[in-house]
Structure formats: structure tokens, C-alpha cells
Amino acid sequence: MMDFTSSLYLAMKHPGTTLQHWKQLTTGIPAVLGEPALNKQVAEQIARLQGLECGLTAPSTLHLYWDLYHVLSRQPVIVFIDEHIYPVSRYGVEQLLVKKIPVFYFRHQDDEHLQQLIQRHCKGAKKPVVLCDGWCPICGQAAPVEHYAALLNNMDGHLFIDDTQAFGILGAGASTLFPYGMGGGGILRWKQLPAGHTRCITTIVSLAKAWGVPMAVIGSTRNHIRQLEQASAIRTYSSPVSNAHIQAAVSALHWNQTTGNQLRARLWNNVKLFRHRMAWADLNVNNSCFPVQHLHHPSPGITTAIYHQLKQWDIKTVLSATHTGIHPRLTLLFRSDHTREQIWHIAQELTRICRQLTNVKGILSPEL
């Protein structure tokens, strides 16, 4: 069985025998009454890896978004949300609607449309707040967060970025030879945002993708994190992140520092090899360096046939939707522990299947 469905991009698995032991799994008290020092240290290190001052851990991004909307519902703000933001990032938005906080959706990754909406609706004392994803795995592109930040800095607004996809993969110093960059600090490092631009930015990151740890961290300025911590409702009723998850995060920090760049290089080599083999076979793939690669045919039946044929040969892939949701695509998620033989094999099988089907040319359309 070959698996191209897992988003453990760097293949960090954290078996229990490799982690530090803990005396008890959880504290049994809500986070507001006490949180282990190690939790705070992990949050600080992850925030600084992104170029931010301070961080706070949570069991999941769902916890953080529920708290975020709770806090925003008590402030004089107008909220602008990317129309295709990750679904979990919307959970809790009804708290704004109940309090009659205005909410507007702007076109996906369209900074000009966002600016138009802000200029149209933010004419009083209310401040603009923007929510978006740092990287969209569906269209394979980064959001223009540098433009969002420049706009909001001039208006005393705030930008909340879900950087779950990019964190651990993208970093500073990206180039055509190595588009991921170094360090794995996420979209802010990859975009090389200066410190002055990040003053209005808060990131929400799940460590469950590249780092393989199902927990989350919110990072921002020290003052902003303090305000969120004091206003939190979730921390009043939920335990801190468990010791098991924190020890896995410590392990991930260690591996990222010692071998992270090698893992990212191996991952890019796998993606690059796959793309080269697809180009050799005259099968186009989406124009993205990210380890989520899409194939799409105008005929849904052909895409579905490719998926089922691979499944019969014990090759696991994903049938996914575009933003429009009109036709399915065949999606493959690559990891650093995929072997060259596996990449050659999946490319060979895709080529063979496609040659058996009609309309082979244009098996993938880059338009999403």
C-alpha cells in the first residue's frame, strides 16, 4: 500500500518510546488556574520561529477560533474574512452575528477587493479585522499577507492568519532552487515581512501537519497575547494542552532545529521528481511547489476512474474539490519519507492509466 493522503509532510511521527516521560497526562484543572511552564516555553519558541514575540498553546485551532470570535464580539470592530478560508476558521463566527458585529467576505486572496470593502465600510471609529489563510492548498498559492498587513497597519487594524499549512514547510531565504526556504517558520518568514509589519499580525497554527502534533499555538505581540489570555472563555473551562502533546511538540522543535532543513529538502526533491515525471509524460500538474499536488480533468468521470484504478492497485490518493466545487480533482500529498521508487511508481501508474483513457492531453487544468 502506497499512501498519498497524509499531511504529515515531514514524516514526524513521535513514537512514545522517543518522548520524555511524564508523571501525569493532564493537570485536571482549567488552563486559567494553572499551566505547566513547559507549555509556555513551547508557545514562546514557536512564536519566535515565526518572527513573533509571544505565544499561547491550545488543544486545537477550534479552541482558538472560538475564543477569538468571543473576544472580537466585545470590541468595536468590522470583520473581513477570505471567502475560501479553511472551514474550521469560521467556527464561532455566529458570536459576532449575535452581537451585530458586521462581517464581510472578500474575494479569495484579493487584496484590492479587501481594500475596497474596508474603505467602504470602515468610516467611523470601528477598526478593521481581517481573517485569512497564509497558504491555500487548494489553489497552491500564498495569500498576499504583506499587502493586507500594510493596509491594516495604516488603519490601526489587525490581521489574523491561519498558517497551519505553511508552518514547518516554508521559511526564510526561498529561491527557485529551493522554494521552501529555511527554518520552517511559516508564511511570515517566507514573505520576509519586516518587524514593523508584523505588529498588526496574529497567527494561528496547528502543529498537526508538518510537525505531526495535534495541538495549536496562537502567536502575536506580547501585549496582544496577554489580552487574549485574560479575555479567554475557553481557558476557563478547558484543560491545558496535555503533557503527551507538549512532549511531542518538544520533540518536533528538536527535529526541526537539527534536521528540519534536510527533511524539507527531501520533501522538495520528492515533489520536484513527481513534477518532472509528469512533465515527461506530458501530464500537467498545478503550478505549485507545495507538497499538495492536484490533477484535474474536465470530465469528472475520467478523474474518478483514475482514482478508483489507483485504489485497486493499493495506491491511496484523494478526490478533492476545487473552490467552485464543480469537478473533482485527483490530489496527492507528498511526504519527506516517500522513496524515489514510490514517486517513480505513482508517476508510472498515472501515465499508464491516462494513456488508456480518452482526452489524455490536458489531464490537468491549472485553472481552479
Question: Residue holding cell 458570536?
Answer: 95
Ramachandran angles phi, psi of 55, nearest 5°: -145, 170
Is the confidence at residue 364, as pLDDT, over 50? Answer: no
The residues facing 136 across adjacent strands are 141
Taking all residues of the chain, what is their mean pLDDT, rounded to a whole number? 93
* Predicted model pTM: 0.94
Which tens digit of pLDDT belongs to each residue from 15-72? 989 999 888 999 999 999 999 999 999 999 999 999 999 999 999 999 999 999 999 9
| Residue 66: closest CA among 195, 204, 166 | 204
pLDDT in tens, 202-249: 999 999 999 999 999 999 999 999 999 999 999 999 999 999 999 999
pLDDT at 79: 98
Number of helices (H), then strands (E), belonging to the chain: the values are: 11, 14
Q: Are strands 216-220 and 201-206 parallel, antiparallel or unpaired?
A: antiparallel
CATH code for the part of the protein at 26-241:
3.40.640.10
Under the phi-then-psi rule, with left for phi > 0, alpha for psi from -120 to 50, and beta for the rest, what region is 12?
Answer: beta
Query: Whose grid coordinates read 514547510?
Result: 169
Burial of 61 (0-12, 13-18, 19+ CB in 10 A): buried
| CA nearest to 135, candidates 246, 28, 290, 279 | 290
**Band of the pLDDT at 355, cuts 50, 70, 90?**
confident
Distance in angstroms (rounded) separating the CA atoms of residues 22 and 293: 39
The answer, yes or no, to whether residue 136 has pLDDT greater than 60, is yes
pLDDT tens digits along 247-300: 999 999 999 999 999 999 999 999 999 999 999 988 878 889 999 999 877 777
- What is the predicted pLDDT for the residue at 243? 96
Cα separation, 63 vs 30, whole angstroms: 13
Which has the closest alpha carbon to 212: 164, 180, 259, 174?
Answer: 164
Q: Identify the pLDDT of residue 234.
A: 93
Q: Can you spell out the DSSP letters for 148-195?
A: HHHHHHTTT-EEEEE-TTTTTT--BS--SSSTT-BS---HHHHHT--G
Same fold, 26-241 and 259-356: no
User: According to the model, what pLDDT value does residue 281 have?
Assistant: 86
CATH assignment, 259-356: 3.90.1150.10
Residues 66-110: tens digit of each pLDDT? 999 999 999 999 999 999 999 999 999 999 999 999 999 999 999
The sheet with strand 328-333 has its strands ordered as 292-295, 328-333, 318-321
Helix (H) or strand (E) holding 228: helix 222-231
Rounded distance between C-alpha atoms, residue 344 and residue 15, angstroms: 29
Please state the domain extents for the chain: 26-241, 259-356
Whether the per-residue pLDDT at 363 is higher than 90: the answer is no
